[in-house]
Structure 1
Amino acid sequence: MYRRLSLVGLVLGAAVAAATFVTQATIASLTFRTQAATPSPTSTTQAVSAAPPQVDTIAHRGGAAYAPENTLAACALARAQGADVCEFDIQQTKDNQLVLIHDPTLARTTNVEEVFPGRSPWNVADFTLAEIRRLDAGSWFSSRFRGERVPTLAEGLRQLEDGTTRLLLEVKHSVPGQGIDRRVAAELQDTRFWWQDGRLTMMAFDWPSMRALHLMVPDVPVALLGKPAVGQLPELARYAGRITTPHAGLTAQYVQEVHDQGMSVYTWTANKPALIRRLLSYGVDGIMTNKPDRLQAVKGPD
């Protein structure tokens, strides 16, 4: 955080230190929404200097560097490392149940080829929940996680109800007519705990599906994956509260443009300290990482 001090004449060293402390405390007390409402900086240097006082540490796929992705074990570890948010992916089974898994196929992150050898390509949509519950979703990562299961959305919601960790849920591979948006909305209707204080945000690359979800469950914030053109932002801000964009090509000016429309900015996926520091300097509101502990270390104590 850069300090803005206006000193006239010479002052004693003790006065400088006291003024610095007061200025830092004042800046830290401001919310980032107030900061986002300020006019766009007039230069690149000014834009880069504005970093929000609170940046969310988001465990990408639950924290995929240290535990099998999209599992309850991964999120539990990420919480222990100080993650503010666990990010999971949602897909739909053959019998219309919602499970947390990234790929459209079960092959990479489970032992489905061993359990069901004759059912290639092992798409999630071709298996019932009962069949998926038979799979081991942990051993591929490490024998320490043998027996870990593909969780349902309901299980993911229940796991985090006892703490302050928030959830970021991506609806994957939405297919027109599949009805996954309606089923997600129905699931959320039964878990109103997650409606309060922005504890849960839904997101997708399919922006119309997020508009539809917002209409069905208006109290649950939605985010849009991608990097919409600046000219699109005012219209998108009518229903979306956040843009979640890849770090490649991201600039401080773009972050400010999004903030000027009243939306926040998350970005993915940063694991290296140098990249994390650069993204922090842009003023983003949250960073997805496979290594929550590393992001926490770069951010420093709250």
Structure 2
Amino acid sequence: MAPPFSIPSVQRLSTQRIAPPVPSLCLFFFRQTQLWVDWSLPLLGVTVLLVTYSALLLVGPALWGPHCILPAGDTAPDLLWALSGAGVSAPQATGPFLHIGAVAGVTLLAWPVADCFYHTPPKVLLLLVYFGLTTALYLAPLMISSPCLMEDNQLPPKPALSGHRGAPMLAPENTLMSFQKSVDCDVHVFETDVMVSADGIPFLMHDETLTRTTNVREVFPAQATMNGTAFNWTDLQQLDAGSWFLEVRPPSLGLAGRDQVQAQKIPSLQQVLQEAKQHNISIMFDLRPENHTDYQSFINVTVETILRSGIPPQLILWLPDGFREQVRQQAPGFQQIYGLKSSWNETESPLRVNLPYQDVSTEQIGRYRQDNISVNLYVVNEPWLFSVLWCAGAGSVTTNACQVLKEMKRPLWLTYLMVWIVTDCVSFLLILSAFLLLQ
């Protein structure tokens, strides 16, 4: 008898999802730390940040303006030497570390690249692109053009230092304490700013108002926002010109130093001239405000104050452009120093120029030097930027950091070169480790 008809059993299809293969990078970290984290996302995120950072450094000058010193025919690597200094945006100021950031980025990429290479169908093209990019970054410093690539016997003399409002990192700017601190830095020039009080006394002040560097809001609240030239000398001497410094830049001065800071008053030009005379230091200043209706009388009072002080006239570097010919006649012994190119006649050849470093190329500095024109560049605070200007032949720089630049015995090119070499070596070892561990 035939067996009863039966419907063949149908196996149920499993609805269980097949887990995707686990990246070996995640397994590797799990075995080492017993923590399950998908490390690919953090690595990629950090890499994107580093690449973006490096790109900003490269295109920074196009976005924020030419805040750099570049010889003719510069390429992107030259920015490593060209970007820095006070008043420059943060990405530009860290320009020398572009190479380090880029190498760090490709080093982090070694883990996902190695993981992809070993555990997916071979991607030879990916590997070639990765190692090609890495090699190019390793060798990038060799393509950098810098005025510091020279023999030691070709190195120009170290630029002299001009104290920008004294030594403003060590003491309140434009105070006697600040200029006394700058003397300890071996500055050759006091750089400052002069105003004339309502009763005809030249005094030191950079801002048009007194609010930033004095307690004028407390002493004269109704007059706090008035121009500094509206105050008479007696009123100016009632102001505290030092305590603000302890709030903005708390220094390691000790109790005696803090007391000295708090005792600072607005100095007169006469007082600073005596300080310069005592130490045989030149003085250079802007006379403010240039658009004042009494500017010519400010010029006259200032020149008379200088002549009465007894300071040798050759120590005066006369910078104000207004009524310069009149000053030449009144005080022929003053050394004339010029700012913008338009401030001197085509027929005359200045002996000294005072220019922002951002507006002068290293080639122009060299040409000034060949023409026996002394170039003072401002404001230079970073040692590596000072190194470039030193190699280019700048005669002097105006700085806030005289205590730092004083200690430099030679340009820093070799220091940065060693940093780049060490970075490349460490990166190579990390990349090699990634490929060996994930094999």
Question: Taking structure 2 as the reference length, what is the TM-score of the superposition?
Answer: 0.53
Check conservation: 1:245, 1:268, Cα contact below 8 A: yes
Within 5 Å, give how 1:1-302 maps onto structure 2: 51-142=155-246, 143-144=258-259, 145-174=261-290, 175=292, 177-178=294-295, 179-195=297-313, 198-204=314-320, 207-226=321-340, 228=341, 234-237=346-349, 240-259=350-369, 261-299=371-409
Check conservation: 1:271, 1:289, Cα contact below 8 A: yes
Cα 1:54–1:116 shift into 2, 3 Å: same
Q: CA RMSD in A?
A: 2.8
Check conservation: 2:198, 2:230, Cα contact below 8 A: yes
Tell me which of the two structures has the higher relative contact order, counting C-alpha pairs closer than 8 angstroms and 6 or more residues apart: 1
Cα distance in 1 for partners of 2:348, 2:218 equals: 45
Q: Deviations over 1:202-243 (max 9, x none)?
A: 213xx24334322321101121223x16x9664353xx4311
User: Per the alignment, in what secondary structure is the counterpart of residue 193 of structure 1?
Assistant: coil
Cα 1:141–1:283 shift into 2, 3 Å: same
User: Per the alignment, in what secondary structure is the counterpart of residue 90 of structure 1?
Assistant: strand
> By how many angstroms is 1:94 displaced?
1.2
> By how many angstroms is 1:165 displaced?
2.6
> By how many angstroms is 1:46 displaced?
10
Letter in 2 for 1:160: A
Larger proportion of strand:
1
Cα distance in 1 for partners of 2:409, 2:323 equals: 34
Letter in 2 for 1:87: E
Cα 1:299–1:100 shift into 2, 3 Å: farther
> By how many angstroms is 1:261 displaced?
4.9
Query: Structure 1: where are the runs of 5+ without partners?
Result: 1-41
Check conservation: 1:214, 1:221, Cα contact below 8 A: no
> By how many angstroms is 1:281 displaced?
1.5
Q: Deviations over 1:88-125 (max 9, x none)?
A: 11111111210011111111100011000111413111
User: Per the alignment, in what secondary structure is the counterpart of residue 69 of structure 1?
Assistant: coil
Cα distance in 2 for partners of 1:232, 1:256 equals: 20
Cα distance in 2 for partners of 1:247, 1:106 equals: 28
Check conservation: 1:276, 1:298, Cα contact below 8 A: no
Question: Taking structure 1 as the reference length, what is the TM-score of the superposition?
Answer: 0.75
Check conservation: 1:52, 1:285, Cα contact below 8 A: no
**Structure (1 or 2) with the larger CA radius of gyration:** 2
Larger proportion of helix:
2
Cα distance in 1 for partners of 2:307, 2:243 equals: 34
> By how many angstroms is 1:66 displaced?
1.3
Cα distance in 2 for partners of 1:118, 1:208 equals: 32
Cα distance in 2 for partners of 1:43, 1:299 equals: 30
User: Per the alignment, in what secondary structure is the counterpart of residue 319 of structure 2?
Assistant: strand
Matched positions, count: 253
> By how many angstroms is 1:262 displaced?
4.3
Q: Deviations over 1:234-270 (max 9, x none)?
A: 4353xx4311000113212222443455431100011
User: Per the alignment, in what secondary structure is the counterpart of residue 337 of structure 2?
Assistant: strand
User: Per the alignment, in what secondary structure is the counterpart of residue 298 of structure 1?
Assistant: coil
Cα 1:232–1:93 shift into 2, 3 Å: closer
Percent identity among equivalent residues? 22
User: Per the alignment, in what secondary structure is the counterpart of residue 137 of structure 1?
Assistant: coil
Cα distance in 2 for partners of 1:183, 1:163 equals: 24
Q: Deviations over 1:27-65 (max 9, x none)?
A: xxxxxxxxxxxxxxx999897766532521111111111
Letter in 1 for 2:376: Y
Check conservation: 1:171, 1:202, Cα contact below 8 A: no
